[in-house]
């Protein structure tokens, strides 16, 4: 469970900003978005395959344009 200790002379907005940053670093917001709706296993597999294809293509492009040393 994430939490912060609010200092005596700290503004609420600043404390809230620190709390959201700690949640982002812990990956809580991405988990909430991921489980917002049910995804069938076949759809999840398709999404993961597409993302891995995009990553592979991106890496291949990066390697072809990189000059050799």
**Is residue 60 domain-shared with residue 31, that is, in the same domain?**
no
**What pTM does this model have?**
0.46
The total of structural domains in the chain comes to 2
**Is residue 3 domain-shared with residue 32, that is, in the same domain?**
yes
| Residue 18 CB coordination number (10 Å) | 15
Domain carrying residue 13: 1-37
State which H helix or E strand residue 2 sits in: none
**Is residue 43 domain-shared with residue 33, that is, in the same domain?**
no
pLDDT of residue 63 exceeding 70: yes
**Is residue 26 domain-shared with residue 6, that is, in the same domain?**
yes
**Is residue 8 domain-shared with residue 19, that is, in the same domain?**
yes
**Predicted local confidence at residue 62, as pLDDT:** 84
- Helix ranges, 1-69 (H): 12-26, 28-34, 41-65
**Is residue 32 domain-shared with residue 2, that is, in the same domain?**
yes
- pLDDT per residue over 23-32, tens digit each? 888 888 888 8
- pLDDT per residue over 4-59, tens digit each? 889 999 999 999 999 989 988 888 888 888 888 888 999 989 999 999 999 999 99
**Is residue 6 domain-shared with residue 26, that is, in the same domain?**
yes
């Amino acid at each position: 469970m994430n939490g912060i200790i609010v200092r005596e002379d700290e503004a609420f907005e600043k404390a809230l900003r620190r709390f959201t940053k700690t949640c982002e670093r812990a990956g809580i917001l991405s988990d909430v978005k991921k489980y917002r709706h049910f995804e069938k296993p076949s759809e999840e597999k398709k999404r993961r395959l597409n993302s891995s294809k995009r990553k592979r293509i991106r890496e291949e492009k990066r390697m072809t344009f990189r000059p050799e040393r």
